[in-house]
Structure 1
């Protein structure tokens, strides 16, 4: 399924009304999926004037990754089965399909314009970071330690022996090629931290404990849309290709570690954790701030793992290298600043 399949007939079928396409444009970088903004004309006032359509990536490597890692399947199932059970702001899903035999999928989503996408390369302001972590708590709180999540076997992020073995194997496989591309972006302490952590990755994953909930799995600036709170919500979370059932603090540390440049993040680490804990309280979860802080320090490495592995399984571009370089350097510096290795 690709952009050429999006025509008047197909859109009329998906929207349940006679519609005419008036504009089609690509939005975002879409490392694993392809995002299109489609302008519509329709006599039915219930049909919006524009929607965002998400399709498999046109890049063969990225498409193969999306299928192999079940990204396409999980995103459709999140929108159809989980989105309405959590409070985080996500685009309304007008239609979703995933075909197991071909791996194809399509999502027709609410267009969140004039909200603007965050920028993982440049980072964000402390004010944007506070809004993002408060919104994150609205994902985690509603299904905090919910045992029924065990029944959703398509959710990822679980630290089973098989999952741990897979991550350890992928790390060993991809670290050499990662270093070929990204070593020149890293300073000596960051390289030392990368190598030291690689020797402890299995114990680090085995050591996770505490409550579990629905997680985003890739909660970062490129996957967040920011608005003024009136014409568009303050924060909308998109790209639900890696939803999981695991430690909530992974999302928190992952966002903060690369969302802010290190100079800003050092100043605001503690305050952001407090904002998150306070927002959980509003959602009915009484979390111990000391425990959250310890887990926050420990989970700085989640971003390191993502940078090493994900950078090697998606299509390459100048933007993707800049993004993964920013992630790798910032997450490693986060681990250095918080002495995270001591908790592995």
Structure 2
């Protein structure tokens, strides 16, 4: 993998800048032409399928996927920390954990973080999960076992406490206070923007959750790991054989209670009925795989409680995502689906009352 904090030539800030000359320089090949096609929804970044024509046929990939910063300058400035996080993950973390990620051909970032490029293998025919449609128990099992491969190998690793380049570090009092303030702002923007598409019951859950974000971030400080932060179907690629999943989009790296990732995935990526039927078995599978990765002194009852408490990751991340990233038609529909599912899970698991007792 070719990685750097600043490429030898200017980083491609738009798809037009992914020229044959630039691509050839990072792949070490002679390329005569490049075809670029947009893929994905592009709320925080812009993703493209790249098809090069090589002057000399060889073993190079027929297609690749390139990820660039958002094409909206305002969004690019707001989420520059996310580009730093993704660069940090692929260059400093990926080979220290046990989660499948795409092969990386090039990863570079500018000094100020506003320019970023990631060039990875195109995993077609693997299929991206569909956040709106949701998934069943079989795909969810693949996802939670993969998640344990991120969390388990470096569970409570003290290096995470000083790890640079992540979007949200482990919360101290000042950080938690600031996040609590931002949660209120994000809530107002979300309720205003989505209007009466959010029902009264869900509005009440979102408001109660926002009030708890500051103390919630400080809960169980002795259990922590690196979190994906936005672990959901749209960021997973399922392989045709049905026995593997690859995880992408590492812009929301966070350090905190591990079960936040687990709760966020199950609450937002399954219908309430599907989740309620299988969540106990899925949490047990995650816990079992953690033990296989060497995690000890963490019994299932504690894992289940953490899962219930971790549900506040759902309203926090969704409202932040809606308020501070680019809006798209599918994005709004997706946010609403996730809000409905997440708020249902919070009510079902009595997360608000449990968290209130614990804080």
For the criterion TM > 0.5, the same-fold answer is yes
TM-score band, normalised by shorter chain? over 0.9
Partner of 2:180: 168
Matched, 1:8 2:8: no
TM-score, normalization by structure 1: 0.94
Q: Is the 8 A contact 2:108 2:117 kept in 1?
A: yes
Partner of 1:213: 225
3-state SS of paired residue (1:49): coil
Cα 1:229–1:245 change in 2 (3 A) is: farther
Matched, 1:262 2:272: yes
3-state SS of paired residue (1:23): strand
Matched, 1:103 2:114: yes
3-state SS of paired residue (1:139): helix
Cα 1:102–1:283 change in 2 (3 A) is: closer
275-284 or 128-137, which moves further after superposition? 275-284
What is the root-mean-square deviation of aligned Cα atoms in Å? 1.7
Cα 1:84–1:318 change in 2 (3 A) is: same
The equivalent position to 1:56 in structure 2, one of 51, 61, 69, is 69
Give ranges in structure 2 of 5+ residues lacking alignment: 1-12
How far residue 44 of structure 1 moved from its aligned partner, in angstroms, is 6.0
Matched, 1:189 2:189: no
Q: In 1, distance between residues paired with 2:36 and 2:214?
A: 46
Cα 1:138–1:175 change in 2 (3 A) is: same
Q: Is the 8 A contact 1:32 1:65 kept in 2?
A: no
How far residue 93 of structure 1 moved from its aligned partner, in angstroms, is 1.1
Q: Is the 8 A contact 2:86 2:250 kept in 1?
A: yes
Q: In 2, distance between residues paired with 1:215 and 1:101?
A: 24
Aligned length: 340
Partner of 2:337: 326
Q: In 2, distance between residues paired with 1:74 and 1:191?
A: 31
Q: In 1, distance between residues paired with 2:256 and 2:198?
A: 30
3-state SS of paired residue (1:174): helix
Partner of 2:316: 305
274-283 or 38-47, which moves further after superposition? 38-47
Q: In 2, distance between residues paired with 1:177 and 1:285?
A: 40
3-state SS of paired residue (1:275): helix
Give runs of aligned pairs for residues 16-165 of structure 1, distance below 5 A.
16-42=28-54, 43=56, 45-67=58-80, 70-101=81-112, 103-155=114-166, 156-165=168-177
Q: In 2, distance between residues paired with 1:103 and 1:217?
A: 21
Q: Is the 8 A contact 1:116 1:225 kept in 2?
A: yes
Q: Is the 8 A contact 1:17 1:44 kept in 2?
A: no
Q: In 2, distance between residues paired with 1:149 and 1:200?
A: 24
Partner of 2:351: 340
TM-score, normalization by structure 2: 0.90
Q: Is the 8 A contact 1:52 1:109 kept in 2?
A: yes
Q: Is the 8 A contact 2:37 2:49 kept in 1?
A: yes
Q: Deviations over 1:245-298 (max 9, x none)?
A: 222111100100110011111111111101101111222223311111001001
Q: In 2, distance between residues paired with 1:54 and 1:107?
A: 5
